Amino acid sequence: MSKKSIMADVPDFGYDEQGFNIPLQTLIKGKNASGKDFDERTVLSYISHNGSSFWMANPVTVGNELKLIIDLPPKLSEDKTLKLIIRGRVVFVEAPKNKDHRHRVSLKFENKYMIDDDDPKLS
């Protein structure tokens, strides 16, 4: 279920946190609110060491577990194609602001992550 919010565009993860508004291409994998598996491409609007925010079309609910496969910029990876793979739980879902029906989702990361090369098994 979506909620309306007057939050700023940066999520509050409970304490002062330094994050980045970096538009990184991302593949999201998970189950939608109906329990069906989905893969959706999006662009991160915010990321920190603790979580991220992004817009997505698939409806999800607070508590859903999602897997993010984030394309790392080539300059950070010595011109290699690397992916940051991390899981997290949805902590906030904001209702769509216009007719495109995309929700802003805020995710709190779990501790585990991995960095891998551009392997077809990830996509």
Domains of the chain, earliest start first: 21-122 (2.40.10.220)
- Measured CA to CA, the distance from residue 110 to residue 100 in angstroms comes to 30
Q: Which two tokens stand for residue 18?
A: 């330094």
Residue type, 8: A
pLDDT at residue number 10? 43
CA atoms within 13 Å, Cβ hemisphere of 52: 27
pLDDT at residue number 76? 72
> Mapped to the 3 state alphabet, what secondary structure does the chain carry?
CCECCCCCCCCCCCCCCCEECCCCEEEEEEECCCCCEEEEEEEEEEEECCEEEEEECCCCCCCCEEEEEEECCHHHHCCCCEEEEEEEEEEEEECCCCCCCCEEEEEEEEEEEEEEECCHHHC
Enumerate residue ranges in the chain where pLDDT < 70.
1-20, 77, 118-123
Q: Rounded to two decimals, what is the model's pTM?
A: 0.75
pLDDT at residue number 120? 47
